[in-house]
Amino acid sequence: MEVKYQLKDWLADWEEILRQSLTVPKERENDAIRDYFLSCYRTPSEARWRAERIFAALRYLETHASSFESSGYALASSQGGTVSSYLTSALYRFFGVADDASVRNPPEPQVFTEGAAEHERHEREDGL
């Protein structure tokens, strides 16, 4: 299924999943996440597609946490973590719009850190 994932929807879903990962008991996590996506999107297939995209990005972030931490765009701890808006945007630009086959074979972390750096640079230039 191909759905257009708007940035505002991605950001809302990303924030909610990160919030739930810190507040929902592990035994309720799957139900809470399913309920969240089903409450936000029209059809179960659309809710599933969006959830799979968010989780692919989250798994990728976890797998490559050390690369993102060393770049300064993420910080992990035993109590959770922080992901910069620049890295969140770079993850969206791939996981939110790539075709399904590409999502299963994402690029190296450097692509995302370069995207985050570019976003940060543009934001600073626009702020001048």
- The whole-angstrom separation of Cα 119 and Cα 87 is 9
The pLDDT value given to residue 46? 95
Kindly report the pTM of this predicted structure.
0.88
* pLDDT tens over the chain, length 128 residues: 667 899 999 999 999 998 888 888 989 988 999 999 999 999 999 999 999 999 999 999 989 999 999 999 988 766 667 889 999 999 999 999 999 999 999 999 999 999 999 999 998 888 75
Question: Domain total for the chain?
Answer: 1
Question: Please, is 105 exposed, middle or buried when counting C-beta atoms within 10 Å of its C-beta (0-12, 13-18, 19+)?
Answer: exposed
Read off φ and ψ for residue 82, nearest 5 degrees: -130, 135
Judge whether 1 lies within some domain: no
Helices assigned H by DSSP within the chain? 7-23, 29-40, 44-63, 65-71, 85-95, 100-103, 109-127
Q: Are 42 and 1 in contact, with CB atoms under 8 Å apart?
A: no
The pLDDT value given to residue 26? 86
The pLDDT value given to residue 108? 97
Bridge partners of residue 80, in order along the sequence? 77
Judge whether 102 lies within some domain: yes
State which residues form the domain around 69.
Answer: 7-127
Residue type, 25: P
Judge whether 2 lies within some domain: no
The count of C-alpha atoms lying within 13 angstroms of the C-alpha of 83, restricted to the half-sphere facing its C-beta, is: 26
Judge whether 101 lies within some domain: yes
